Structures are given as C-alpha cells and as structure tokens.
C-alpha cells in the first residue's frame, strides 16, 4: 500500500495532480481545494490511499491523515464509492461531516453533488458508531451559523465547493455571528 507521497507537482488537473517522485509521475486524485491551492513545480506531500479494482489502481491523496481516514471510513458505507467519498471530503469540512453523522442529519450530505437521500441516510446510519466524539450545544450553534453562511454564499452565486472552502478559512475563535462569519468567508474570494 502507498501510504504517502512526497514530490514535485508536475501537473495540476481539474480533479487530480501529477506528483513526480524521483522521476515517476503518480496521478493522485485530491479534494478540489488542493487543486486550487497547489502550485506547479513546487514540492508537495500527500497522505494517500490506494483503491484497487479489477481494472485500475487509483491513488487518492489528502493533506492530513484525518482527511484520509475519514475518506476510508466513508468508503465503508453502502453506496459510497471513491469518487463520492472524495466529493464529500471536497465539499464538506471534517467537522461538518462529523457533526452531521453524530447529530443524525443526513440532509447535510445531500448538498454534495451526486449524493442522494438514500445514500446520505446510509452514511449516517452506518457510520454513527464509528465516529468518535461528543456533540455539544456549542457545536450545534456553530453548525447552524455556518449553514446560514453557506446558504448565503451559494445564494450569491458561489458553488457549494467554493462556499465550503471559504467556510474552512474562518478561524475557530471567530465570533458566532452570521454577518461577521460571512464577512470573513467573503475575504476568501478577494
């Protein structure tokens, strides 16, 4: 198994990178925000997961082990393949995924392109016992405020992926006020 790769980014594609590791180019599918942030011909390290199929070997790469582990966990849910799991990790923050599972809110997953109601319910049901942690009232407040910010950003014409990327730039200690969090999120686009 290939657990990680470190090399020079030789090509940035829409949904993947080509990482040159000692003269060998590995195509690694990554979350969309990684494709937007990475610079060609710069060094990059990724934690990877190799999906072995009868007709293909496909590498998926993540910036943290937590993202990779969540990706692998999502693959364990019925109806979730590697592309869908990558779409979920690309669209939703790790904290929002955990909260959606712990709070039994499957509808949050339906915001991800390609995830229907049945798949979303399957994810929540099958992963509830596998996600560790507690869900507090403060988590609920932050999640509700962030959902309002997400709705506002998509209402302004940004895609769900762009809006989620902007949400992830909001510091953890930022005020829980919708207007303030929206102002911070909009700075991501300037």
Neighbours of 7 (CB within 10 A): 20
- pLDDT per residue as tens digits for the range 93-114: 888 888 888 888 888 888 888 8
Selected residue with higher pLDDT from 2 and 170: 2
Burial 22-57 (b: 16+ CB within 10 A, else e): eeeebebbbbbbbbeebeeeeebebbbbebeeeeee
Selected residue with higher pLDDT from 44 and 129: 44
| Mean local confidence (pLDDT), 135-160 | 74
Segment holding 181, helix H or strand E = helix 178-187
Q: Which two tokens stand for residue 117?
A: 């109601």
pLDDT at position 133 over 80? no
- For tokens 């207007």, the residue is 179
Coil, strand, or helix at residue 163? helix
Task: Give the HSE-up count for residue 70: Cα atoms under 13 Å, Cβ half-sphere.
Answer: 24
**pLDDT value at position 154?**
84
| DSSP tally for the chain: helices H, then strands E | 8, 5
| Domains of the chain, first to last | 4-62 (2.40.50.140), 65-127 (1.10.150.20), 137-185 (no CATH)
Query: Which own/partner contact pairs does 45-54 have at CB distance under 8 Å and 24+ positions apart?
Result: 45/4, 45/5, 45/6, 46/4, 46/5, 46/6, 46/17, 46/19, 47/3, 47/4, 48/2, 48/3, 48/4, 48/5, 50/1, 50/2, 51/75, 51/82
**pLDDT value at position 142?**
67
- DSSP alpha helices (H): ranges in 103-136? 117-127
Q: Which two tokens stand for residue 140?
A: 């609920």
| Mean local confidence (pLDDT), 12-33 | 93
Rounded to the nearest integer, the mean pLDDT of the chain is 86
pLDDT at position 137 over 50? no
pTM for this entry = 0.74
């Amino acid at each position: 198994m290939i657990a990680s790769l470190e090399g020079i980014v030789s090509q940035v594609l829409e949904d993947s990178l080509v990482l040159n590791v000692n003269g060998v180019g590995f195509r690694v599918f990554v979350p969309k925000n990684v494709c937007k942030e990475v610079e060609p011909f710069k060094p990059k390290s990724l934690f990877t997961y190799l999906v072995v199929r009868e007709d293909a070997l496909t590498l998926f790469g993540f910036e943290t082990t937590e993202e990779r582990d969540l990706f692998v966990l999502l693959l364990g849910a019925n109806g979730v393949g590697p592309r869908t799991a990558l779409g979920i990790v690309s669209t939703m923050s790790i904290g929002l995924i955990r909260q959606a599972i712990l709070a039994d809110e499957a509808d949050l997953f339906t915001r991800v392109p390609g995830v229907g109601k049945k798949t979303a319910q399957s994810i929540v049901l099958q992963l509830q016992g596998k996600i560790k942690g507690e869900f507090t009232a403060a988590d609920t407040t932050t999640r509700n405020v962030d959902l309002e910010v997400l709705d506002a950003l998509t209402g302004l014409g940004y895609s769900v992926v762009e809006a989620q990327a902007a949400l992830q730039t909001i510091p953890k200690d930022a005020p829980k006020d919708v207007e303030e969090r929206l102002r911070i999120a909009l700075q991501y686009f300037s």
